[in-house]
Amino acid sequence: MQFKIISSIIIALVAVILLFAIVQMYSTESTTSMICKLHKNVIRHIPLPGYANQPLPDGCSEDPIEERIEIKEMTNSELSHYIVKCWKKAKQGMYGKKLECYELYAKKTTEHINESTVTATFNSEQCDFISNNWLDIENESYSCGTENKIMWKMTETIENKTTIILKYNPLAHWVEVI
């Protein structure tokens, strides 16, 4: 009787693994996402021997992590570059969790850096990608896109030896500059 139960469990596990292998070969991006979630939340917790454990499938990625970067000479274009990268990490506002993208340490600044000067460095493609049509600190509108997707909470101009934190807020769907 026990042999029959154990063999049934083994056959079921092999069938599930084969099913995932077949689905993964023919999967689209949406089914890949479903497979990733299933793998992360179910399959990796099944106690299988080492040779039977499957690595995270291709196309699946772990959650993004915060990066700490020291920038020797901070410029407006450098900061705008990291804001765009944070928006990309946040899947253009579709990432469902709070995300701390970057902690930037500006060792030295070579320009006057604040919300209006950084937004002024955005070209039309960047404004279409992540718009900033409202300058939060100056409390005035700006012609960069149609929405306010960059929230500035840093009231002072960025100077030498300043730490800048870039976060993604999933409730408001914007990047915060703190």
Total domains present in the chain = 2
| Global pTM value | 0.68
73 and 124 inside one domain:
yes
Are residues 130 and 151 in contact, defined by beta-carbon separation less than 8 angstroms?
Answer: no
Q: Rg (Cα) of the chain, in Å, rounded?
A: 23
pLDDT beyond 70 at 73: yes
92 and 28 inside one domain:
no
List the domain range (segments joined by +) for residue 87.
Answer: 67-177
Mean pLDDT over all residues of the chain?
84
- pLDDT of 77-105, one tens digit each? 999 999 999 999 999 998 888 999 999 99
Q: For 116, what's the count of Cα atoms within 13 Å in the CB-facing half-sphere?
A: 11
110 and 160 inside one domain:
yes
- Per DSSP (E only), the strands in the chain are 67-71, 99-106, 134-135, 140-141, 150-152, 162-169, 174-177
